[in-house]
Structure 1
């Protein structure tokens, strides 16, 4: 298994958490070296990451949720990203979508506006809309997750792999911990879990590059 990724990418964190949870052996390839970037673009010309290359099966897998599910199917281990029960699986996939679409997406829109090239006008209206979406998402998630230990219930799943980077980054941009005690306790559990703690440790050499690193 080869993972092409960037150490600050929220979607790459999602795949890394699953790999670490499952204790799956893989070769990390950071998208910094020109040869690595060329290989990645050859495998996935769309130019998005992460990308997982399974040499043993001659498969190239993109999109973080699909990578996590692929690991569950072809690298069985201690981590089960999708429950066997069909209704429980629907809830996991729904929560995965909620975190990706309503937390990760507006968070990335705000970051994208902050890092626009010099001379390109910023878009305060869209940033305001993204912040409002984050506020709505916090309310929804606080209510939906009431009484749950993890995003979709008692077990750590794909939904938590999505939640960890989404909430960690969003909280830097639109802080939620003081107003949403359930989400605050949940993100603390995520940060204490070794798979995500490892991701957070590994990001440190690059963290200064994040435009909201200091709040």
Structure 2
């Protein structure tokens, strides 16, 4: 098998790439990385010394591809399928890349700040940083709600890289910092994301690991069991 994805089923940035793979039914081998296991970590570091996941290895081309957005673009270039996640039109492609960055940097990153602060050693918490992360999410939610007016997906009628980024970021962020009740566009979009087969599959595969999530007690029941709506 040519493609190996070094990943963890609970990691939101890994979800982003998994969604892209499943959208186009790309064959790959998942390699789960346990950062608490020196052997598992060594396998990752041998491919990408930064030690961040996900990382894609293409055995046919002997190419290591890190960084989620770059991985998705690489897949489109070399393993394209029926769903072009980066549009051919240059303006549409730029818009998809923009909102990919918005979801990564202004939803997923502050969400992770809130999550990781909960598991810091006693006395090592960063309440100022967490408050700032929550403000960032409030700003992002408002921007996204406005952006989604009249749109089915993040940038229009077509599912793109931006939606691959949106799904995991919004999934975990909605747990640690729920949406404002008046953000109807955002709420409806989130439900469409959850109904997308590639996203439903990704979350179903992650479900056995949800007990490891630091905010597990805040997860709605419908996220914890298959078939619960």
Pairwise CA distance, 1:66:
0.6
1:38 aligned partner: 42
**Match among 19, 28, 31 for residue 29 of structure 1:** 31
Pairwise CA distance, 1:191:
0.5
Superimposed CA distance per residue, residues 59-95 of structure 1 (whole angstroms, 9 cap, x where no aligned partner): 0000001101110000011121100000000100000
TM-score (norm 2): 0.91
TM-score (norm 1): 0.96
1:211 aligned partner: 214
Matches within 5 A, 1:42-191: 42-117=46-121, 119-176=122-179, 178-191=181-194
Q: Distance in 2 between matches of 1:176 and 1:213?
A: 18
Gaps of at least 5 residues in structure 1 are: none
2:14 aligned partner: 12
Q: Distance in 2 between matches of 1:212 and 1:17?
A: 23
Does the 8 Å CA contact 1:171/1:177 hold for their aligned counterparts?
no
Does the 8 Å CA contact 1:2/1:29 hold for their aligned counterparts?
yes
Q: Distance in 2 between matches of 1:190 and 1:34?
A: 36
Pairwise CA distance, 1:36:
3.8
Q: 1:106 to 1:197 in 2, by over 3 A?
A: same
Q: Distance in 2 between matches of 1:181 and 1:34?
A: 46
1:2 aligned partner: 4
Q: Distance in 2 between matches of 1:30 and 1:169?
A: 20
Aligned residues: 214
What is the root-mean-square deviation of aligned Cα atoms in Å?
1.2
Superimposed CA distance per residue, residues 109-160 of structure 1 (whole angstroms, 9 cap, x where no aligned partner): 111111113x342111111111011001111110111111001111111000
Q: Distance in 2 between matches of 1:62 and 1:112?
A: 22
